[in-house]
Each structure stands twice: as C-alpha cells, then as structure tokens.
Amino acid sequence: MSNRNSKVDTFMETVEHPHKDAVDYLRTAILRAEPEVTEQVKWNAPSFCYEGTDRVTFQLKSKDVQLIFHRGVQVKDDAGEFAFQDDSGLMKWRSSDRAMVTFKDLADAQAHEAAFIDLVGRWIRA
C-alpha cells in the first residue's frame, strides 16, 4: 500500500499487543478507506490524518483493539452543528465528536471489515 508510512511500520515492530495482527489489518483497511489519509505515530500509536487533522487513532493500552474516532486533538466547540450517523453500530460515543470502535481480535475485525471501511471513509470526510 503506497500510503503506508515506513516509520509506523518500524514503530509497529516494537509494539507488544495481543492482537497486533488485527492492528496491522485495520491499518491497511483505514488506508484503503480514504486514499488521501496519511499515517503517523502519535500518542504512542498509529494515527491517521486527513488534510492535516488527526481523525482516527489506535489506543494500544487495551487488550482489545481500540480506535478513537475524533476531529483533532481538541474537542470541537460545534456540538450543536456536528452530526454523524453511525449505521454500523460500531461506534460508542465518548463526547459529541469522539467515539471509540472496539474489536476483540482479528476475526472480529475481519467480520466487520466492510462496515468499518465505510465508517472510516465517511468519518474522515465528515
């Protein structure tokens, strides 16, 4: 995949996570969802940016595979204006513009791949 970042690849070689295979699988899915997304290491995890704003970041502290969907570092003060419809049911909202998606393992991620890719693509552009 052309927009994979070699620095993130190197970082992932050092990561110890029980579902590292699922993290790698989902990295590829995110990069497929939106060709203009870039990835970097931020907050000690792979993070994905669109037009210079962080949009999706792995949270590697959990034994599950968790991803934070956000709209940058700071919570935006436009809660009344921002709306996002999650038809997949994958998102658990943490605030008006931040949600978490959790997968138990690689099989769980693979089972929800199509819905996840659609969700990421729509979130990135929201």
- Return d(Cα 2, Cα 82) in angstroms, integer: 32
Q: What is the mean pLDDT for each group of 10 consecutive residues in the chain (126 residues)?
A: 84 96 96 92 95 94 95 63 84 89 98 96 89
pLDDT of residue 4: 87
- Return d(Cα 35, Cα 28) in angstroms, integer: 11
Helix, strand, coil percentages, rounded to 5, for the chain: 35, 25, 40
pLDDT of residue 97: 81
- Are 32 and 67 contacting, i.e. CB atoms less than 8 angstroms apart? no
